[in-house]
Structure 1
Amino acid sequence: VGADLDPLSVLISRAKTTPISASELSKVARIPHEVDYSDGTPSLIPEVKNLHHWFTPDAVRELSAVKSRCLTLPEPTKTFALVVFSSIIRRVSNADDQTQKTYVSHTLPKRPPPPHELLPIFVQRAIRGMEEYARLLPKPPSGTVLQADARWVPAGAEFEDVVTSPPMWTQSSTSTTRC
Protein backbone atom coordinates (compact mmCIF):
# COMPACT_ATOMS: atom_id res chain seq x y z
CA VAL A 1 0.00 0.00 0.00
CA GLY A 2 1.37 3.37 -0.97
CA ALA A 3 -0.11 6.78 -0.35
CA ASP A 4 0.66 10.34 -1.30
CA LEU A 5 -1.42 13.50 -1.66
CA ASP A 6 0.47 14.71 -4.73
CA PRO A 7 -0.85 13.17 -7.99
CA LEU A 8 2.60 13.30 -9.62
CA SER A 9 4.12 11.49 -6.64
CA VAL A 10 1.46 8.80 -6.95
CA LEU A 11 2.29 8.40 -10.64
CA ILE A 12 6.03 8.19 -9.88
CA SER A 13 5.48 5.64 -7.11
CA ARG A 14 3.33 3.48 -9.37
CA ALA A 15 5.98 3.60 -12.10
CA LYS A 16 8.79 2.79 -9.66
CA THR A 17 7.02 -0.22 -8.21
CA THR A 18 5.61 -1.83 -11.36
CA PRO A 19 8.10 -3.87 -13.38
CA ILE A 20 7.82 -3.36 -17.14
CA SER A 21 8.57 -6.22 -19.56
CA ALA A 22 11.48 -5.97 -22.00
CA SER A 23 9.08 -5.75 -24.94
CA GLU A 24 7.20 -2.86 -23.33
CA LEU A 25 10.47 -1.10 -22.43
CA SER A 26 11.46 -1.32 -26.10
CA LYS A 27 8.30 0.68 -26.93
CA VAL A 28 9.41 3.38 -24.49
CA ALA A 29 12.93 3.32 -25.97
CA ARG A 30 11.48 4.16 -29.39
CA ILE A 31 9.50 7.20 -28.22
CA PRO A 32 12.30 9.77 -28.71
CA HIS A 33 12.75 8.56 -32.30
CA GLU A 34 9.05 8.25 -33.19
CA VAL A 35 7.80 11.60 -31.93
CA ASP A 36 7.23 14.28 -34.55
CA TYR A 37 8.61 17.17 -32.51
CA SER A 38 7.51 19.71 -35.12
CA ASP A 39 3.87 18.75 -34.69
CA GLY A 40 2.57 19.62 -31.21
CA THR A 41 -0.77 18.61 -29.78
CA PRO A 42 -2.66 21.82 -28.90
CA SER A 43 -5.23 19.99 -26.75
CA LEU A 44 -2.40 18.88 -24.42
CA ILE A 45 -0.97 22.36 -23.95
CA PRO A 46 -2.13 23.68 -20.57
CA GLU A 47 -3.95 26.99 -20.52
CA VAL A 48 -1.54 28.84 -18.28
CA LYS A 49 -1.50 32.63 -18.51
CA ASN A 50 2.27 32.99 -18.42
CA LEU A 51 3.26 29.65 -19.99
CA HIS A 52 5.81 31.28 -22.30
CA HIS A 53 7.52 32.91 -19.34
CA TRP A 54 8.37 29.39 -18.15
CA PHE A 55 8.87 27.63 -21.50
CA THR A 56 9.88 28.61 -25.01
CA PRO A 57 7.18 28.09 -27.64
CA ASP A 58 9.33 25.34 -29.19
CA ALA A 59 9.61 23.53 -25.84
CA VAL A 60 5.83 23.74 -25.33
CA ARG A 61 5.21 22.28 -28.78
CA GLU A 62 7.77 19.48 -28.33
CA LEU A 63 6.53 18.60 -24.84
CA SER A 64 2.95 18.33 -26.07
CA ALA A 65 4.10 16.01 -28.89
CA VAL A 66 5.99 13.79 -26.42
CA LYS A 67 3.05 13.62 -24.01
CA SER A 68 0.71 12.75 -26.86
CA ARG A 69 2.94 9.81 -27.81
CA CYS A 70 3.18 8.60 -24.19
CA LEU A 71 -0.61 8.60 -23.88
CA THR A 72 -0.92 6.09 -26.74
CA LEU A 73 0.81 3.34 -24.75
CA PRO A 74 -1.04 0.71 -22.70
CA GLU A 75 -0.81 0.62 -18.90
CA PRO A 76 1.52 0.25 -17.03
CA THR A 77 3.89 1.29 -19.83
CA LYS A 78 2.00 4.58 -20.22
CA THR A 79 2.56 5.47 -16.56
CA PHE A 80 6.28 4.69 -16.87
CA ALA A 81 6.56 6.81 -20.04
CA LEU A 82 4.68 9.72 -18.45
CA VAL A 83 7.05 9.66 -15.47
CA VAL A 84 10.04 9.81 -17.83
CA PHE A 85 8.29 12.68 -19.63
CA SER A 86 7.75 14.50 -16.33
CA SER A 87 11.44 14.12 -15.45
CA ILE A 88 12.57 16.44 -18.26
CA ILE A 89 10.08 19.26 -17.72
CA ARG A 90 12.11 21.36 -15.27
CA ARG A 91 15.31 20.89 -17.26
CA VAL A 92 13.74 22.08 -20.54
CA SER A 93 11.99 25.02 -18.87
CA ASN A 94 13.35 28.53 -18.41
CA ALA A 95 13.38 27.97 -14.63
CA ASP A 96 16.73 28.01 -12.87
CA ASP A 97 18.05 24.46 -12.29
CA GLN A 98 20.52 25.48 -9.60
CA THR A 99 17.99 26.10 -6.85
CA GLN A 100 14.86 24.44 -5.49
CA LYS A 101 13.10 27.79 -5.69
CA THR A 102 11.20 27.94 -8.97
CA TYR A 103 11.98 31.18 -10.77
CA VAL A 104 13.29 32.47 -14.08
CA SER A 105 16.54 34.35 -13.63
CA HIS A 106 16.77 37.60 -15.56
CA THR A 107 20.36 38.31 -14.52
CA LEU A 108 21.69 34.96 -15.78
CA PRO A 109 19.20 33.72 -18.39
CA LYS A 110 19.10 29.97 -18.88
CA ARG A 111 19.44 28.35 -22.28
CA PRO A 112 17.49 25.14 -21.72
CA PRO A 113 18.09 22.13 -23.93
CA PRO A 114 15.17 21.28 -26.19
CA PRO A 115 13.08 18.25 -25.23
CA HIS A 116 14.21 16.33 -28.33
CA GLU A 117 17.82 16.45 -27.08
CA LEU A 118 17.13 15.58 -23.45
CA LEU A 119 14.42 12.93 -23.83
CA PRO A 120 16.63 10.16 -25.32
CA ILE A 121 19.09 10.50 -22.41
CA PHE A 122 16.36 10.35 -19.75
CA VAL A 123 14.56 7.47 -21.48
CA GLN A 124 17.72 5.35 -21.53
CA ARG A 125 18.47 6.18 -17.88
CA ALA A 126 14.93 5.22 -16.83
CA ILE A 127 15.03 1.98 -18.81
CA ARG A 128 18.34 0.97 -17.21
CA GLY A 129 16.84 1.70 -13.79
CA MET A 130 13.72 -0.36 -14.50
CA GLU A 131 15.77 -3.27 -15.86
CA GLU A 132 17.91 -3.25 -12.71
CA TYR A 133 14.84 -3.00 -10.45
CA ALA A 134 13.13 -5.93 -12.20
CA ARG A 135 16.35 -7.98 -12.03
CA LEU A 136 16.69 -7.46 -8.27
CA LEU A 137 13.11 -8.39 -7.39
CA PRO A 138 12.77 -11.85 -5.86
CA LYS A 139 9.18 -11.96 -7.10
CA PRO A 140 6.83 -9.51 -8.81
CA PRO A 141 5.54 -6.94 -6.31
CA SER A 142 1.90 -6.63 -5.49
CA GLY A 143 0.17 -3.64 -4.04
CA THR A 144 -1.45 -0.36 -4.83
CA VAL A 145 -0.51 3.29 -4.63
CA LEU A 146 -3.32 5.62 -3.65
CA GLN A 147 -3.73 9.36 -3.73
CA ALA A 148 -4.25 9.73 0.01
CA ASP A 149 -2.68 10.93 3.25
CA ALA A 150 0.29 8.64 4.04
CA ARG A 151 -0.11 9.26 7.78
CA TRP A 152 -3.13 6.97 7.79
CA VAL A 153 -1.88 3.41 7.36
CA PRO A 154 -4.42 0.57 7.55
CA ALA A 155 -4.19 -1.42 10.79
CA GLY A 156 -2.13 -4.58 10.36
CA ALA A 157 -0.57 -3.43 7.09
CA GLU A 158 2.68 -5.16 6.15
CA PHE A 159 5.27 -3.80 3.72
CA GLU A 160 7.82 -5.54 1.52
CA ASP A 161 9.15 -2.36 -0.08
CA VAL A 162 9.19 1.29 0.90
CA VAL A 163 9.73 3.98 -1.75
CA THR A 164 10.15 7.56 -0.62
CA SER A 165 10.52 10.87 -2.36
CA PRO A 166 11.33 14.28 -0.86
CA PRO A 167 10.50 15.58 1.61
CA MET A 168 11.90 12.67 3.58
CA TRP A 169 12.15 12.05 7.28
CA THR A 170 15.40 13.01 8.90
CA GLN A 171 17.73 10.20 9.92
CA SER A 172 16.98 10.67 13.61
CA SER A 173 13.22 10.52 13.16
CA THR A 174 13.49 7.50 10.82
CA SER A 175 15.34 5.46 13.41
CA THR A 176 12.55 5.95 15.93
CA THR A 177 9.67 5.37 13.53
CA ARG A 178 8.21 1.92 12.92
CA CYS A 179 6.34 1.00 9.75
Structure 2
Amino acid sequence: MGTESIHTPQTYLLQEVEKNIKTLKTKVNSQKKNTKRIQFLSIGLGAAITLTLGLSFESIESQQQNIALLLSALLTAVNGWSTIFDYKKLWHRQKSTLLDLYQLKNEILFTMSLEQQHQGKWDDLFKRYQIIWEENGTEWRSIVRTIPTHTSSRVSPDPTQEN
Protein backbone atom coordinates (compact mmCIF):
# COMPACT_ATOMS: atom_id res chain seq x y z
CA MET A 1 0.00 0.00 0.00
CA GLY A 2 1.63 3.24 -1.09
CA THR A 3 1.91 6.36 1.00
CA GLU A 4 -0.37 8.21 -1.44
CA SER A 5 -3.37 6.41 0.10
CA ILE A 6 -2.59 7.78 3.59
CA HIS A 7 -4.44 11.04 4.04
CA THR A 8 -4.49 11.47 7.81
CA PRO A 9 -3.05 9.75 10.87
CA GLN A 10 -6.54 8.38 11.47
CA THR A 11 -6.80 6.70 8.07
CA TYR A 12 -3.23 5.45 8.43
CA LEU A 13 -4.05 3.78 11.75
CA LEU A 14 -7.25 2.27 10.37
CA GLN A 15 -5.42 0.94 7.29
CA GLU A 16 -2.70 -0.63 9.45
CA VAL A 17 -5.21 -2.29 11.75
CA GLU A 18 -7.23 -3.64 8.80
CA LYS A 19 -4.07 -4.93 7.09
CA ASN A 20 -2.96 -6.71 10.26
CA ILE A 21 -6.42 -8.17 10.83
CA LYS A 22 -6.38 -9.62 7.32
CA THR A 23 -2.91 -11.12 7.82
CA LEU A 24 -3.69 -12.53 11.26
CA LYS A 25 -7.01 -14.05 10.15
CA THR A 26 -5.09 -16.16 7.63
CA LYS A 27 -2.51 -17.18 10.23
CA VAL A 28 -5.14 -17.99 12.86
CA ASN A 29 -7.01 -20.24 10.45
CA SER A 30 -3.77 -21.97 9.44
CA GLN A 31 -2.69 -22.56 13.06
CA LYS A 32 -6.16 -23.88 13.94
CA LYS A 33 -6.05 -26.34 11.03
CA ASN A 34 -2.52 -27.46 11.97
CA THR A 35 -3.60 -27.96 15.59
CA LYS A 36 -6.55 -30.11 14.54
CA ARG A 37 -4.44 -32.13 12.09
CA ILE A 38 -1.83 -32.93 14.72
CA GLN A 39 -4.49 -33.86 17.30
CA PHE A 40 -6.41 -36.12 14.90
CA LEU A 41 -3.21 -37.74 13.67
CA SER A 42 -2.07 -38.40 17.23
CA ILE A 43 -5.44 -39.85 18.25
CA GLY A 44 -5.65 -41.91 15.06
CA LEU A 45 -2.17 -43.35 15.46
CA GLY A 46 -2.83 -44.19 19.12
CA ALA A 47 -6.05 -45.97 18.19
CA ALA A 48 -4.35 -47.84 15.33
CA ILE A 49 -1.58 -49.03 17.66
CA THR A 50 -4.13 -50.25 20.19
CA LEU A 51 -6.11 -52.10 17.53
CA THR A 52 -2.99 -53.58 15.96
CA LEU A 53 -1.79 -54.96 19.29
CA GLY A 54 -5.25 -55.85 20.58
CA LEU A 55 -6.47 -57.90 17.64
CA SER A 56 -5.02 -61.35 17.37
CA PHE A 57 -4.45 -62.99 14.01
CA GLU A 58 -2.18 -66.01 14.40
CA SER A 59 -1.05 -66.04 10.78
CA ILE A 60 0.27 -62.46 10.86
CA GLU A 61 1.23 -62.03 14.53
CA SER A 62 4.85 -61.02 13.81
CA GLN A 63 3.71 -58.56 11.17
CA GLN A 64 1.29 -57.00 13.68
CA GLN A 65 4.18 -56.31 16.03
CA ASN A 66 6.17 -54.66 13.24
CA ILE A 67 3.17 -52.57 12.21
CA ALA A 68 2.59 -51.51 15.83
CA LEU A 69 6.27 -50.59 16.15
CA LEU A 70 6.12 -48.50 12.98
CA LEU A 71 2.92 -46.77 14.13
CA SER A 72 4.51 -46.07 17.53
CA ALA A 73 7.50 -44.46 15.84
CA LEU A 74 5.16 -42.29 13.74
CA LEU A 75 3.22 -41.30 16.86
CA THR A 76 6.45 -40.29 18.57
CA ALA A 77 7.43 -38.18 15.55
CA VAL A 78 4.00 -36.50 15.39
CA ASN A 79 4.07 -35.69 19.11
CA GLY A 80 7.63 -34.40 18.80
CA TRP A 81 6.59 -32.17 15.90
CA SER A 82 3.69 -30.87 17.97
CA THR A 83 5.98 -30.09 20.88
CA ILE A 84 8.50 -28.23 18.75
CA PHE A 85 6.06 -26.08 16.76
CA ASP A 86 3.24 -25.85 19.34
CA TYR A 87 0.58 -24.83 16.85
CA LYS A 88 -2.04 -24.62 19.60
CA LYS A 89 -0.12 -22.01 21.56
CA LEU A 90 0.54 -20.01 18.39
CA TRP A 91 -3.14 -20.27 17.44
CA HIS A 92 -4.29 -19.00 20.85
CA ARG A 93 -1.78 -16.15 20.88
CA GLN A 94 -2.63 -15.02 17.36
CA LYS A 95 -6.36 -15.32 18.04
CA SER A 96 -6.00 -13.14 21.13
CA THR A 97 -4.09 -10.52 19.13
CA LEU A 98 -6.71 -10.69 16.38
CA LEU A 99 -9.52 -10.08 18.88
CA ASP A 100 -7.62 -7.10 20.31
CA LEU A 101 -7.24 -5.68 16.80
CA TYR A 102 -10.97 -6.11 16.09
CA GLN A 103 -11.77 -4.23 19.28
CA LEU A 104 -9.31 -1.47 18.36
CA LYS A 105 -10.81 -1.22 14.87
CA ASN A 106 -14.28 -0.76 16.39
CA GLU A 107 -12.97 2.04 18.60
CA ILE A 108 -11.23 3.69 15.64
CA LEU A 109 -14.40 3.59 13.53
CA PHE A 110 -16.49 4.91 16.40
CA THR A 111 -14.01 7.72 17.05
CA MET A 112 -14.00 8.58 13.34
CA SER A 113 -17.80 8.82 13.41
CA LEU A 114 -17.73 11.47 16.14
CA GLU A 115 -17.77 15.03 14.92
CA GLN A 116 -15.33 16.21 17.56
CA GLN A 117 -12.06 14.39 17.07
CA HIS A 118 -9.38 15.21 19.61
CA GLN A 119 -5.74 14.47 18.84
CA GLY A 120 -5.29 13.03 22.33
CA LYS A 121 -7.83 10.31 21.57
CA TRP A 122 -5.92 9.34 18.40
CA ASP A 123 -2.66 9.30 20.32
CA ASP A 124 -4.26 6.91 22.83
CA LEU A 125 -5.57 4.66 20.05
CA PHE A 126 -2.16 4.52 18.40
CA LYS A 127 -0.56 3.69 21.76
CA ARG A 128 -3.07 0.83 22.15
CA TYR A 129 -2.10 -0.42 18.68
CA GLN A 130 1.54 -0.41 19.71
CA ILE A 131 0.77 -2.18 23.00
CA ILE A 132 -1.15 -4.92 21.18
CA TRP A 133 1.90 -5.66 19.02
CA GLU A 134 4.27 -5.32 21.96
CA GLU A 135 2.29 -7.91 23.94
CA ASN A 136 2.13 -10.14 20.87
CA GLY A 137 5.89 -9.87 20.40
CA THR A 138 6.61 -10.53 24.07
CA GLU A 139 4.56 -13.71 24.05
CA TRP A 140 6.09 -14.81 20.74
CA ARG A 141 9.57 -14.31 22.17
CA SER A 142 8.66 -16.37 25.24
CA ILE A 143 7.45 -19.20 22.95
CA VAL A 144 10.66 -19.04 20.91
CA ARG A 145 12.82 -19.09 24.03
CA THR A 146 11.24 -22.38 25.11
CA ILE A 147 12.23 -24.09 21.85
CA PRO A 148 15.55 -25.87 22.36
CA THR A 149 18.14 -24.86 19.77
CA HIS A 150 21.18 -26.95 18.92
CA THR A 151 22.74 -24.58 16.42
CA SER A 152 24.25 -21.15 16.67
CA SER A 153 21.56 -19.60 14.47
CA ARG A 154 18.97 -17.51 16.25
CA VAL A 155 15.30 -17.16 15.46
CA SER A 156 14.23 -13.63 14.61
CA PRO A 157 12.08 -12.14 17.42
CA ASP A 158 9.94 -10.29 14.87
CA PRO A 159 6.38 -11.71 15.33
CA THR A 160 5.28 -10.44 11.92
CA GLN A 161 7.82 -12.72 10.24
CA GLU A 162 6.57 -16.03 11.71
CA ASN A 163 4.60 -18.66 9.81
Q: TM-score, normalised by structure 1?
A: 0.28
Structure ranking higher in helix proportion: 2
- Rg larger in structure: 2
Q: TM-score, normalised by structure 2?
A: 0.30
